[in-house]
Amino acid sequence: MSKIITFEKNTKEDILDLFDCAVDADGYIIEKQSGQKVPSSDGEPLELKDFVGLKKGSLVFIRTGINSVIELADTIQDNNQ
Amino acid sequence: MSFLEALGKLLSNLKLPDINFNIDLSNNINIKKDDHSQKTEYHDDSKNLTINLAKLDSSERKALKDILPKAIEDGYSILEDETKKSIEDFKAKDSSAGNKEVLDFLKPKIPPEDFNIWRASLYMRSFFEAHDKPKTRQLKCDIMQRYGDKGKNIANLCSARYLEEVLIPYHGSLEGKYEDKIVLDKFKSMYKMVVDELPLCVFVNHIMNKNDIKGEIELKKKYGLKYINMHGIGTSNIKKIIEVVDELEKQSKFATKETKEDTHSIFVRLYF
C-alpha cells in the first residue's frame, strides 16, 4: 500500500495553511507563528513554486526536481516492502 | 488513533448520505479545491476518496487540520498529484528491463554518489528519445542544478549512449583477459576519465561558438585517441557543427569522417 495523499496544484497554499504555514511577500514558505522561512530537505528556504509536498522526518518540505522524485520513489518502495 | 481511524471519524462527522463509512481508504486520498464538485467523493471501483476544501466549512477544515499531522506521523507523504505521477513514471522506467540491466551493471563499479545521476539521466533519456523536448530540457536542467558538471557530463554521455557503446563494451573487452580485481580497477579508471574529462567527445551547446568547438577538439586531441565524436541537438548546433567540420576539412585537420544526421540531432566522428 502506498502511503500517499495527493493534492492538486491549486491547493498548495491551503495545504501549507493546514500545517500552519504561509507564503511571504517574496514567495517563500514561512511558519505562521514565527514568521521564519522553512527549509526544504536540502536546508535551503523553499519558494511556493518549488513546493511539491511534505513527508515524515518530523516534517520535511519537499522541493520539486528529479532528486526528490528518486528519493520518494525509493522511500515509497521501502514502505511497500 | 491512527490517521485512517481519525479520517474515518471525520468523514462520519461530515454526515454525508452517499458515503459508506466502512470504505476502504487504502488506495488514494486526494485533496482538491473546486466550487463545482461535492464536499467528498468516493469511487468504489478505484477506492479513491476526494476531499474538496472549497466545500468544507471552518469547523470541518479545522477537523482536517487536526488529523493531517497524524498522517505524516503514520508515514504518509502528502504530494502534489503531478509529483505522484512523476514518481510512478520514474519507478516504471527505472525498473524496466533495459534500465535495470545497465544499472545493475554500473552499481558495483561506480562511485555511489554517481548512481542516482545515472538513474536520473536514463529517465531523462526516455524523454529525449521520445522527442519530448520540454521534459528533456527540464530534467537536464534539474540534473545540472543538483549534480553540477558531473551531472551535465553523465546526462550527455547517457543521451549519446556512451554507456552501452563505450563503457560496457570496454568492460567486456577486459573480462577474461585479467583477474576480476584488475578488470574492476581498469574499468574504474576508464570510467573516471570518461565522466570527468569527456576525452572522446565534444557536446556542442547553444552557448558555444565555432571557435569554442574548435578549441574543444584541439583539447581532446591531446588524449591521443584515434577519433573524436561531436554531438549536437537542435538546428543552430547542427549548423555550427557542419560549418566547423567544413572548415576543418578545408584545412586537412582530420583524415576521414562519419556523419549521422536527422532532423533534430547530428553526430560526427572525426578520425585523425
Instruction: List, for residues A2-45, the tens digit of each pLDDT value.
Output: 789 999 999 999 999 999 999 999 999 999 999 999 999 889 99
Q: How confident is the model at residue B20 (pLDDT cuts 50, 70, 90)?
A: low
Q: How are beta strands B40-43 and A21-23 bridged, if at all?
A: unpaired
Phi, psi dihedrals of residue B263, rounded to the nearest 5°: -70, -25
The reply to whether residue B76 touches residue A70, judged by beta carbons under 8 angstroms, is no
Give the mean pLDDT of chain B: 90
pLDDT reported for residue A80: 43
Q: Report the residue of chain B nearest A54, measured CA to CA.
A: B78
pLDDT reported for residue A79: 46
Indicate whether A81 pLDDT > 60.
no
Q: How far apart are CA A30 and CA B182, in angstroms?
A: 54
Contact B87, A67 (CB under 8 A): no
User: Chain A contacts of B86, Cβ < 8 Å?
Assistant: 69
In chain B, CATH 3.30.110.20 covers 199-272
* Mean pLDDT of the B42-49 span: 79
Q: How far apart are CA B86 and CA A9, in angstroms?
A: 14
Q: CB neighbours (10 Å) of residue B89?
A: 15
* Mean pLDDT of the A53-71 span: 91
pLDDT reported for residue B49: 87
**Cβ pairs bridging A and B (under 8 Å):** 128
Measuring CA to CA, which residue among B53, B77, B163 is closest to residue A8?
B53
| Chain A positions touching chain B (beta carbons under 8 Å) | 1, 3-12, 14-15, 17-19, 51-56, 59, 62, 64-70, 72-73, 75-77, 79
The reply to whether residue A5 touches residue B119, judged by beta carbons under 8 angstroms, is no
Q: CB neighbours (10 Å) of residue B233?
A: 20
pLDDT reported for residue A75: 84
Superfamily of domain B199-272: Alba-like domain (3.30.110.20)
More confident residue, B61 or A81: B61
More confident residue, B222 or A25: A25
Write b or e for each residue in B118-134: b if 16 or more Cβ atoms lie within 10 A of its Cβ, otherwise e.
Answer: bbbbbbbbbbbeeeeee
Q: How confident is the model at residue A77 (pLDDT cuts 50, 70, 90)?
A: low
Q: What's the distance, Cα to Cα, between the start and end of chain B in Å?
A: 73
What pLDDT, in 10s, does the model give residues B249-259?
999 888 899 99
Contact B235, B262 (CB under 8 A): no
Q: How far apart are CA B241 and CA B231, in angstroms?
A: 8
User: Chain B contacts of A66, Cβ < 8 Å?
Assistant: 90, 120, 123-124, 139, 142-143, 146
Q: How are beta strands B40-43 and B77-80 bridged, if at all?
A: unpaired
The reply to whether residue B90 touches residue A73, judged by beta carbons under 8 angstroms, is yes
Q: How far apart are CA A79 and CA B74, in angstroms?
A: 11
Weakest mean pLDDT among B6-20, B39-53, B119-133: B6-20
Contact A7, B32 (CB under 8 A): yes
Strand-pairing partners, residue A63, are A51
